[in-house]
Structure 1
């Protein structure tokens, strides 16, 4: 009886072992040996400008200094990037961008009348960093908050030394 089990089980084991390698020889779903890489989308340069009126043809842009080349001004979106296919997707506007209200501006900035503008309702306004904040990379960085954080850190270290 044992010989019967051995004779029957050996072919079954060989068949099962053969199926283990069968999936490697399929031609369906074969990955190419030389995968093609797609070219990254080309960034179109922003339109050059002299003042904000040059940018009115492109919605949600303002004439601001280029972040990489401070000698040039361009029509940029609120995040200081050129518009993609003529559209801006930034939810808030950085310093020196045109605005209608404080809600349009990034954290730490307010919408104020531009210097030299009259005080009527239709006067141009732009986002300006509030006191204690400085414009950096399209945001208003809190220099005052940094000092407060450093002071708080020193106080915490001193308190730990006293208690422990």
Structure 2
């Protein structure tokens, strides 16, 4: 009888160890409930209607070209090679207005409180060798830049992956805690 309970317990742990990573991945991607309810089923639902997409923001070559759109900046993002008049969240303005409360990399700012975490409001060092996406600003304009004093570095039009690193560390801690619970 004792051997059977050990084998049964071992099987349960193995099953939990196999299912747990799938649930964790699903939870981290936000698709867990749908993945669990649709596994092995054929798709019988009609295709979802796609609503109209917002037109892209207007291209710009100087910050002054975005002056008519409140709280927008002439910036380039990692997903677009063209500088455009974008809101602080790098989305196009809606009806000439921006609703973003904070600003991402390269957006015009008055102080660091306006910038996202990991960014500070500084006057960029714009020289002849500066990238073209920085030359859209006048030499006296302040923009949100990576906070290098606190370890943030610019890479591909974003600051280092501090948010991804924080999320990854959180996931490692959760998995470690779950593993301890399962083994006990």
Normalised by the length of structure 2, the TM-score is 0.50
SS in 1 for 2:65: helix
2:153 alignment counterpart: 134
Note the residue ranges of structure 1 that are not aligned, 5 or more in a row.
1-36, 158-164
Q: Please tell me whether residue 51 in structure 1 is matched to residue 62 in structure 2.
A: yes
Q: Which residue of 1 aligns with 2:120?
A: 110
1 or 2, which has the higher helix percentage?
2
- Picking from 91, 94, 108, the partner of 2:104 is 94
Which position in structure 1 is the counterpart of 2:19? none
Aligned residues: 112
Task: Give structure 1 regions of 4+ aligned residues with deviation exceeding 6 angstroms.
Answer: none
TM-score, scaled relative to structure 1: 0.55
2:80 to 47, 69, 86: 69
Structure 2: segments with no counterpart, 5+ residues: 1-47, 128-138, 177-184
Per-residue deviation, 1:137: 8.6
C-alpha displacement at 1:69, in angstroms? 2.2
Distance in 2 (CA, whole Å) between partners of 1:123 and 1:108 is 22
For the Cα contact (< 8 Å) 1:94–1:138, is it kept in 2? no
Higher relative CO (Cα under 8 Å, sequence separation at least 6) belongs to 2
SS at match of 2:145: strand
- State the alpha-carbon separation in 2 of the partners of residues 81 and 99 from structure 1: 17
